[in-house]
């Protein structure tokens, strides 16, 4: 890589990029009426409807977890990176909690960014599968959320190593994923999740490994690792949070429909009917949706 220091001037700190991000248009293509990115394995849609879902999902996660992060980061944390930032809602809201920090939201496409960069946060292009465009030890807190449909199984170790590489010694790394574990659901839910898992495996993704991310952090040398499998109500039976999560999961299933149905040669109508049966089970059995989160510190001496 041709190392070119490109300073991001902020209130108190200067971050450096290895090189200025190359302009990279979103390049959407249409699959079943939804736009998708090309040049990446990412298989969720990339369009206004998906952006609205991501923002709603952000609210649903906050309602379920009561915070935007779990790691015990200090209030004076000054350099934060959000990998695969999507619409950028996480950096924007984190900048209110950490007004002294500068937060970078990085994504492979800029098409979802909804805010212009400010003194508090900067949005940049970058592909975590190709390496993060920063020298090592830049950030006190590195956060990555909901990239399960972006990172093929074979790439997870390299991605975790990249997150660690750009974290300062003693700094925190946090990953959070959802989507593979629904507890107290019926047989149709189990069957749908298994079917989706098989479709994902055909694409080189192992959805089940999102529950193993803590173990991956430990194996990669991260210290003080805490692993949380957080259940939240899924369905109207679970009040406000349950209804929000149900709406989000149904909307996520709808977003995945085009890719999965094309692969399995299933009609969208058949898929919709299946999902409807599944959602009824959530109310009958009082299902819960599990968030898989893990965080830990880069060794202080590393």
Ligand X SMILES: C[S@@+](CC[C@H](N)C(=O)[O-])C[C@H]1O[C@@H](n2cnc3c(N)ncnc32)[C@H](O)[C@@H]1O
Q: Is 91 in the site for ligand X (CB under 6 A)?
A: no
Among 147, 166, 175, 241, binds ligand X (CB under 6 A): 147
Q: Parallel, antiparallel, or unpaired for β 34-37 and 28-31?
A: antiparallel
Of 31 and 302, which CB lies nearer to ligand X in the complex structure?
A: 31
Number of residues that bind ligand X (CB under 6 A): 21
Of 155 and 283, which CB lies nearer to ligand X in the complex structure?
A: 155
**Which residues have a Cβ under 8 Å from the Cβ of 194 and sit 6 or more positions away?**
none
Q: Give me the least distance between CB of 42 and ligand X, in Å please.
A: 4
Q: Parallel, antiparallel, or unpaired for β 139-145 and 6-9?
A: unpaired
Q: Nearest-CA neighbor of 163 among 139, 189, 185, 180?
A: 139
Stretch that binds ligand X, among 3-11, 94-102, 124-132, 262-270 (CB under 6 A): 124-132
Stretch that binds ligand X, among 72-80, 121-129, 257-265, 279-287 (CB under 6 A): 121-129
Stretch that binds ligand X, among 70-78, 94-102, 143-151, 223-231 (CB under 6 A): 143-151
Among 10, 34, 36, 58, binds ligand X (CB under 6 A): 58
Among 65, 129, 209, 227, binds ligand X (CB under 6 A): 129
Among 77, 79, 112, 181, binds ligand X (CB under 6 A): 112
Q: Is 85 in the site for ligand X (CB under 6 A)?
A: yes
> Could you give the C-alpha distances from 100 to 11, 122, 141, 282, 289, in angstroms and in order?
8, 14, 14, 43, 34
Q: How many CA atoms lie within 13 A of 198 on its CB side?
A: 8
Of 150 and 245, which CB lies nearer to ligand X in the complex structure?
A: 150
Q: Give me the least distance between CB of 256 and ligand X, in Å please.
A: 11
Measured between alpha carbons, how far is 94 from 96 in angstroms, rounded to an integer? 5
Among 146, 160, 163, 166, binds ligand X (CB under 6 A): 146
Measured between alpha carbons, how far is 23 from 124 in angstroms, rounded to an integer? 10
Q: Is 40 in the site for ligand X (CB under 6 A)?
A: yes
Q: Nearest-CA neighbor of 21 among 92, 123, 90?
A: 123
CA 36 to chain centre: 17
Among 86, 91, 233, 238, binds ligand X (CB under 6 A): 86
Q: Is 234 in the site for ligand X (CB under 6 A)?
A: no
Measured between alpha carbons, how far is 50 from 256 in angstroms, rounded to an integer? 11
Among 101, 128, 213, 256, binds ligand X (CB under 6 A): 128
148-177 residues in contact with ligand X (CB under 6 A) are 150
Among 18, 34, 42, 205, binds ligand X (CB under 6 A): 42
Q: Is 127 in the site for ligand X (CB under 6 A)?
A: yes
Query: Which residues bind to ligand X, rule: CB under 6 A?
Result: 40, 42, 44, 46, 54, 58, 84-86, 90, 107-109, 112, 127-129, 145-147, 150
């Amino acid at each position: 890589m041709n190392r070119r220091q490109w300073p991001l001037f902020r209130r108190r700190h200067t971050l450096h990029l290895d090189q200025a991000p190359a302009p990279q248009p979103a390049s959407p293509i249409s699959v079943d009426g939804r736009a998708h990115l090309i040049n990446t394995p990412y298989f969720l849609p990339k369009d206004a409807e998906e952006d609205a879902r991501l923002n709603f999902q952000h609210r649903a996660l906050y309602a379920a977890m009561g915070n935007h992060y779990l790691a015990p980061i200090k209030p004076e944390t000054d350099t934060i990176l959000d990998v695969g930032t999507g619409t950028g809602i996480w950096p924007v809201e984190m900048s209110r909690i950490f007004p002294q920090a500068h937060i970078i939201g990085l994504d492979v496409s800029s098409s979802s960014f909804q805010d212009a960069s400010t003194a508090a946060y900067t949005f940049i292009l970058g592909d975590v599968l190709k390496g993060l465009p920063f020298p090592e030890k830049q950030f006190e807190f590195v956060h990555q959320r909901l990239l399960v449909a972006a990172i093929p199984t074979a790439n997870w170790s390299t991605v975790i190593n990249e997150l660690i590489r750009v974290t300062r010694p003693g700094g925190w790394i946090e990953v959070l994923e959802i989507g593979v574990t629904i507890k107290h659901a019926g047989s149709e839910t189990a069957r749908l999740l298994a079917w989706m898992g098989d479709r994902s495996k055909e694409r080189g993704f192992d959805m089940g490994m999102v529950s193993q991310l803590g173990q991956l952090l430990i194996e990669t040398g991260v210290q003080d690792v805490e692993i949380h499998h957080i259940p939240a109500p899924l369905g109207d039976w679970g009040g406000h949070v349950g209804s929000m999560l149900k709406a989000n999961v149904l909307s996520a299933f709808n977003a995945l429909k085009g890719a999965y149905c094309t692969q399995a040669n299933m009609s969208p109508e058949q898929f919709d009917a299946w999902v409807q049966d599944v959602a009824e089970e959530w109310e009958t059995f009082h299902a819960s949706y599990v968030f898989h989160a893990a965080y830990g510190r880069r060794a202080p001496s590393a």
